[in-house]
Amino acid sequence: MTHIREVRQRLHETQEEASEWNLLRDVLLPGAVAGMVGALVMVALALPLGALTHGDVWLAPRLAGGLFFRESPEGAWPVVLGLGVHVATAGGIATLFALLLPRGGTSVAALSLGFLMALGLQAVMLPMVAPFASPPLTREAPHAAMLLLHLAFGASLALVVPMRRTLAAADRVRRTIHGVREAR
């Protein structure tokens, strides 16, 4: 009987440890996944929008590459650098969102806050950041398309909550297995 009590006590302790806040499990991994998904969704929407509005599939990454090629971003390098900057920025913003989002919330709350963050990005990025960061983006980007892209990114930020739950469940299972092994 004592062995069973020890095992139960150890399992209870490991479950409590797993319920504590963890930077990697609660912020970095969910933020990175949500940012990557958000960046991919934005690219998947931006490429056809560029083809429809300007006849250039690579318009959006080329304009994002205007950070490095300020005058006229032409060729492959602005596209590659624009995609890199875009994915890195999306990952950073999503990680910041995961850091600010309280634990234990619902996906609907995260979706609402993600839309709010998307509107904030739209309000700050276009008039304040883009003129200094990428002049070609300021000259050629349609504001309605940018709003659509930012709202799609905001919707992807709702993935933070299910990612947290999945990683917490995996962490609980890992700690439980580890606790059983130590109790033997």
Q: What is the pTM of this model?
A: 0.81
The pLDDT of residue 111 is 95
Q: What does the alpha-carbon distance between residue 91 and residue 156 come to, in Å, rounded to a whole number? A: 11
Residue 24 CA to its chain's centroid (Å): 14
pLDDT single digits (tens) 27-70: 999 999 999 999 999 999 999 999 998 888 998 888 888 888 87
pLDDT single digits (tens) 142-177: 888 899 999 999 999 999 999 999 998 888 888 888
Token pair belonging to 55: 């006849």
